[in-house]
Structure 1
Amino acid sequence: MGIKNFKKQKKSIVLNDLLLNVGSHLGHLTCYWDPKLARFILNRRNKIHLFNIDKSGESLSQALRFISKLSGNVCFVNGNEKFSSISQEAAFRCLQPALTDNWTNGLLINNNLIKTNAIDALFIINGCDDSFIIKESDKLNVPVISINDTDINSHLITYPIFSNDNSLKIQHFVSNLISDVILEKSLYNFAISLKKGG
């Protein structure tokens, strides 16, 4: 195994361990599930589906790589009042826009929200709570990153992160990781601009 592959594998192991520690593998009750997600489910225990943590880690890594290559903003979306502060804090930390109020259908389509904020993608913390925003994003060709539990149909989500979506720990963990990637990208771009200016 080459040094590059070794480092990549090591990162995957660390990420998977972190996901396990926050309970990412715990899906919904087996009676509430989308059969299309069968390949992401490893097993079932006590009537609960368990995600394959390797698949969860891969999906999260893909989403983070996508975000790291974006030139515009990522809008943090959370229409659930109970969890809205998580999205607000993560967005504020990396100076990104956030949508955390209750809304009605047509919010994205009937407003210039996407254009005026130079939004390249939406990060939706819970695809089940905000399903109509996902549908509107699809009509506008705006990519969506979303935590995707075993009961959610992921066909309209560009980068689904296969994980438990009800845990505060998960929501904090994923939101902060995305915030970290955006901050790292901003610092890198700032350093490049300084170098060019110098």
Structure 2
Amino acid sequence: MSNLSVKEMISAGVHFGHQSKYWNPKMRPYIFTTYNKLHIINLDKSVEHFKLAISYIEKLSKNNAKILFVGTKRAARDIISEHAKNAGMPYVNNRWLGGMLTNFDTVKKSIQKLEGLKKHLEASKILDNMSKKETLTIKKQITKLEKNLDGIKDLEKLPDALFVIDTRYEKIAIQEANKLNIPVIAVVDSNNSFDGVDFMIPGNDDSMSSIKLFVSEVSKTIKSNKTSVTSAKTENQSPQGKKSLKKKQVIEVSSKSEKKDAVSKKTEND
């Protein structure tokens, strides 16, 4: 299991939250202190919640599940695409199209249209039977569709879970996942809400170094567990749509004893 340390999180700036005046009161249990009007996130809680999230991701990966990486803000785009591709996972890093999950059949038709346009363009190059104007029009259509669909072009069914950077920025994605009973794993900053999130990780969702730390670790975990599963040819079915693995891991505790109880209950459930 991937175990990020407090030291690694400090180096990546995970502890830096937002200005205290912009905070979300629901994040109170995860804030360590305020320094120069800036909230400092409690990294002990971040480590605790990351372990819970990564444990769940391992279970999904061992069942060959598809985890959709979602991060469309500028700081996350390149990181999301790079590490999702590395793990062989689908991703959305440009814009979340309304209905991407709840109207998935229509999205699949758009993907089919994209593939059709590409084939048509390639055929026209060979046959040399298309005008420059027609070629330009098709290229523009392909570019537009690729911008929003390239990361999910190989997604044949709804994902088994979402891994999200910035819950406020991706609130529509989370709402759609909730409607379809798809588990959500997310990095949640001090100014954001974890409503609708099943496995929250308190942390800086603005810094590229912080985003990269979490996304790269999730990617490595998926890749390592997928490899072992493929070689073993597991007979386990994908857990898509099932809540049996899904446990509410937003643990709000105020004392060490409560924390121990919460963790022990999680262990028993697993």
- TM-score over 0.5 (shorter chain): yes
Aligned residue runs from structure 1 range 23-172, under 5 A: 23-70=13-60, 71=63, 72-112=65-105, 116-117=156-157, 119-172=159-212
Other-structure match for 1:192: 232
More helix by share: 2
Question: C-alpha separation between the residues in 2 aligned to 1:18 and 1:82?
Answer: 20
Residues 119-165 of structure 1: CA deviation (Å, up to 9, x unaligned): 11011122121111111111111111111001111021111110011
Which amino acid counterpart does residue 72 of structure 2 have in structure 1? Answer: G
For the pair shown, the structure with the greater C-alpha radius of gyration is 2
Question: C-alpha separation between the residues in 1 aligned to 2:8 and 2:172?
Answer: 31
| TM-score normalised by length of structure 1 | 0.86
4+ residue stretches of structure 1 with deviation over 4 A? none
Residues 45-103 of structure 1: CA deviation (Å, up to 9, x unaligned): 00011111100111111111000001211111122244211110011101111112223
Higher RCO (Cα < 8 Å, 6 or more apart): 2
Question: C-alpha separation between the residues in 2 aligned to 1:170 and 1:153?
Answer: 18
Q: How many residues in Structure 1 have an aligned counterpart in Structure 2? A: 184
Which amino acid counterpart does residue 134 of structure 1 have in structure 2? Answer: I
Other-structure match for 2:217: 177
Question: C-alpha separation between the residues in 1 aligned to 2:69 and 2:95?
Answer: 14
Question: C-alpha separation between the residues in 2 aligned to 1:75 and 1:23?
Answer: 25
Question: C-alpha separation between the residues in 1 aligned to 2:99 and 2:226?
Answer: 31
1:73 touches 1:96 (CA, 8 Å); kept in 2? yes
- For structure 2, the 5+ residue unaligned runs are 108-151, 235-270
Question: C-alpha separation between the residues in 1 aligned to 2:99 and 2:232?
Answer: 39
